[in-house]
């Protein structure tokens, strides 16, 4: 089997790995036996030459971390060069999770389906496959192959692999973000971002992430702050608190989300369709803080300690979604999440008859809403900052800064009933308000309790009977 450099370490070093599904044969293995446990797992132990492993490779689907050329890798390379016969004495070896093991002395064959492969010993694998020349045949590596029960369901199989990887890495516990990424919990957000998914660091040592990628736990906090089901909302969550915990809670919010993947109100999957909107709104805020007209803010915001000691204390950043290529203030996470939460009442949810989110959208254009309210909003925040002795810690722990909602600042208690933008959760298609007779294709049915249904016009007669305020067309 010829391997290509199809992987990249967290420090950008290319290296080779097999791609699942795959069946790999090691033709000169030193097999040491198998133990089957009561739950049907089979644990095989054998040794192979490092050179054979280097040329054959292993898949890495089950490896939650990406390796790096750390000191331990350099030490392994030194052993392979100077003391190859001692390599398996001084090295813990590699653990793989696989779907079938067939031993026919001296060969051993391993079958790997999607999601299986090396789950521990990734740095050992990395040191072997990146060794720059043929490895002395006396260098052996111990492989423990955990063969999964053949009757496992796909879901149980995925959970088992994650648990094995998690606890085999107990010497440095896997971050919740790494576990969440392995289990596919981030997939709705990754799919929504598409090629822009590299702007988020999804797991430890994520080599695909750009240099200043947003940590995935921060993304979850941002989404939660804007979610009408997590915090107070005038239609869907009138009994819930404001979003202070999202701004100050750090990993606590991510852990709450991680532990509630089956809870339709907490798993944030409906918010995935607004992920790019979230990024654009974030950068719009950052751009305004640095460049916006602050004449409407008493004392000029940029002359205040609120601006110098909190909002803009971390300098500037280049924007990618809003006014691409321009700069904005690099806001601290509590500030950005505080402000994103002020857009929450602008989020529209249309629920189906059984209470599930069927439509998600925005009541008003975010840029229009922000332009009309940011001076009043920032004035209130600056005043609250002063009320808390200009102490950032006291300020973010006080409740008042999180009670503002921009849509209410603009419209008072009579919020718009029909959104400007919509996403159909079933199809993922986007729609926008369009009162034009020749181009509108759908109309929106709503009710005060949050019911919402987007229907295509069945006839010109039906179209004539509906209000143009409810007309929509698919966005380009």
**Residue 388 forms part of a structural domain:** yes
Which residues, listed in sequence order, are joined to residue 144 by a DSSP beta bridge?
45, 95
CB contact set of 69 (below 8 Å; sequence gap of 6+): 9, 11, 13, 126, 130
DSSP string, 154-185: HHHHHHHHHHHHHHHTGGGPPPHHHHHHHTTT
> Would 306 be classed as within a structural domain?
yes
**283-304: average pLDDT:** 92
- The number of folded domains in the chain is 3
Query: Is 90 exceeded by the pLDDT of residue 197?
Result: yes
Chain centroid to CA 337: how far?
16
Per the domain annotation, does 422 fall within a domain? no
Nearest partner of 176 among 217, 147, 140, judged by Cα: 217
pLDDT at 10 exceeding the cut of 90: no
Q: Could you tell me the pLDDT band of residue 207, with boundaries at 50, 70 and 90?
A: confident
Q: How many helices (H) and strands (E) does the chain have?
A: 17, 21
pLDDT band at 1 (very low <50, low <70, confident <90, very high): very low
Nearest to 34 by CA among 110, 133, 101: 101
Mean pLDDT of 118-137: 93
Q: Are residues 241 and 161 in the same domain?
A: no
> Can you point out the beta strands (E) in 262-346?
316-318, 327-329
The per-residue pLDDT for 251 is: 87
How many CB atoms are closer than 10 A to CB 296?
A: 13
Give 187: exposed, middle or buried? Use CB within 10 Å, 0-12, 13-18, 19+.
middle
pLDDT of residue 309: 87
Residue 181 in any domain: the answer is no
In this structure, the answer to whether residues 140 and 288 fall within a common structural domain is no
Q: Do residue 103 and residue 50 come from a single domain?
A: yes
Provide the pLDDT confidence category of residue 230 given band limits of 50, 70 and 90.
very high
Asked whether residue 356 is assigned to any structural domain, the reply reads no
Higher pLDDT, 340 or 64: 340
**Residue 1 counted as domain residue:** no
pLDDT band for position 3 (50/70/90)?
low
To the nearest whole number, what is the mean pLDDT of the chain?
A: 92
415-441 pLDDT tens trace: 898 999 999 999 999 999 999 999 999
Instruction: Please report where in the chains the tokens 């999804």 appear, as a residue.
Output: 202
Q: For residues 122 and 226, state if they share a domain.
A: no
Q: Is the pLDDT of residue 247 over 90?
A: yes
Asked if 432 contacts 475 with a C-beta cutoff of 8 angstroms, the reply is yes
Q: What angle do CA 53, 170, 30 make, to 5 degrees?
A: 30
Considering the domain architecture, whether residues 104 and 194 belong to the same structural domain is answered as no
**Secondary structure (DSSP) of 77-122:** HHHHHH-GGGHHHH---EEEEESEEEEETTEEEEEE-TT-EEEE-H
User: Rounded to a whole number, what is the distance in angstroms from the first to the last CA of the chain?
Assistant: 46
Share of the chain above pLDDT 70, in %: 98
**Residue 434 sits in the same domain as residue 390:** no
Contact present, 266 and 255 (Cβ < 8 Å): no
Question: Ramachandran region of residue 350, left (φ > 0), alpha (ψ -120 to 50) or beta?
Answer: beta
Residues 383 and 466 in one domain: no
Q: Verify that 341 and 193 share a domain, yes or no.
A: yes
Residue 261's pLDDT is: 92
195-210 average pLDDT score: 91
Whole-angstrom distance, CA of residue 273 vs CA of residue 261:
17
Q: What is the pLDDT of residue 415?
A: 87
Encode pLDDT of 131-165 as tens digits: 999 999 999 999 999 999 999 999 899 889 988 88
Same domain, 160 and 213: no
Domain co-membership, 115 together with 150 = yes
What pTM does this model have? Answer: 0.72
Is there a domain that residue 194 lies in?
yes
Nearest partner of 26 among 54, 63, 64, 68, judged by Cα: 54
Domain end call among 174, 202, 223: 174
**Same domain membership, residue 439 and residue 331:** no
Helices (H), 238-332: 244-248, 251-258, 275-291, 305-306
pLDDT at residue 192 greater than cutoff 80: yes
Residue 21 located in a structural domain: yes
Distance between CA atoms of residues 452 and 348, nearest Å: 9
User: What's the domain range around 439?
Assistant: 429-474
* Tens digits of residue pLDDT in 270-283: 999 999 999 999 99
Residues 203 and 278 grouped into a single domain? yes
Give me 395's structure tokens: 């300020």
């Amino acid at each position: 089997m010829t391997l290509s450099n199809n992987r990249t370490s967290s420090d950008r070093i290319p290296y080779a790995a097999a791609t699942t599904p795959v069946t790999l044969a090691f033709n000169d293995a030193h097999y040491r036996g198998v133990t089957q446990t009561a739950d049907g797992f089979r644990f095989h132990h054998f040794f192979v030459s490092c050179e054979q492993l280097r040329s054959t490779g292993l898949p890495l689907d089950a490896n939650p971390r990406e390796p790096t050329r750390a000191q331990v890798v350099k030490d392994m390379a030194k052993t392979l060069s100077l003391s190859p016969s001692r390599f398996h004495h001084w090295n813990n070896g590699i653990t793989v999770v696989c779907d079938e093991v067939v031993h026919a002395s001296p060969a051993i064959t391993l079958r790997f389906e999607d999601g299986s492969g090396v789950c521990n010993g990734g740095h050992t694998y990395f040191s072997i496959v990146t060794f720059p020349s043929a490895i002395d045949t006396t260098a052996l590596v111990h492989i423990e192959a955990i063969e999964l029960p053949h009757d496992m369901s796909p879901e149980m199989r995925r959970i088992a692999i994650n648990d094995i990887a998690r606890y085999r890495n107990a010497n440095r516990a896997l971050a919740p973000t790494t576990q969440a990424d392995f289990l596919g919990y981030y997939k709705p957000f990754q799919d929504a971002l598409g090629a822009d998914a590299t702007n988020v660091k999804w797991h430890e040592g994520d080599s695909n992430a750009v240099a200043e990628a947003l940590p995935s736990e921060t993304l979850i906090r941002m989404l939660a702050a804007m979610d009408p089901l997590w915090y107070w909302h005038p239609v869907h969550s009138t009994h819930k608190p404001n979003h202070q915990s999202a701004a100050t809670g750090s990993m606590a919010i991510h852990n709450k989300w991680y532990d509630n993947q089956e809870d339709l109100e907490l798993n944030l999957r409906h918010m995935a369709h607004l992920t790019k909107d979230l990024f654009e709104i974030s950068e719009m805020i950052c751009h305004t803080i640095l460049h916006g007209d602050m004449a409407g803010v008493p004392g000029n915001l940029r002359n205040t300690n609120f601006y110098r000691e909190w909002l803009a204390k971390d300098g500037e950043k280049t924007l990618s979604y809003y006014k691409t290529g321009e700069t904005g203030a690099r806001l601290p996470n509590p500030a950005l999440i505080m402000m994103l939460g002020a857009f929450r009442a602008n989020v529209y949810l249309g629920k189906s008859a059984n209470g599930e989110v069927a439509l998600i959208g925005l009541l008003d254009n975010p840029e229009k809403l922000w332009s009309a309210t940011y001076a009043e909003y920032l004035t209130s925040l600056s005043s609250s900052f002063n009320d808390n002795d200009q102490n950032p810690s006291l300020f973010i722990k006080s409740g008042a800064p999180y009670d503002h909602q921009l849509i209410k600042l603009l419209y008072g208690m009579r919020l718009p009933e029909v959104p400007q933008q919509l996403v159909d959760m079933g199809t993922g298609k986007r729609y926008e308000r369009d009162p034009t007779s020749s181009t509108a294709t759908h109309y929106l049915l709503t009710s005060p309790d949050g019911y919402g249904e987007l229907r295509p016009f069945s006839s010109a007669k039906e179209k004539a009977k509906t209000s143009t305020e409810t007309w929509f067309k698919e966005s380009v």
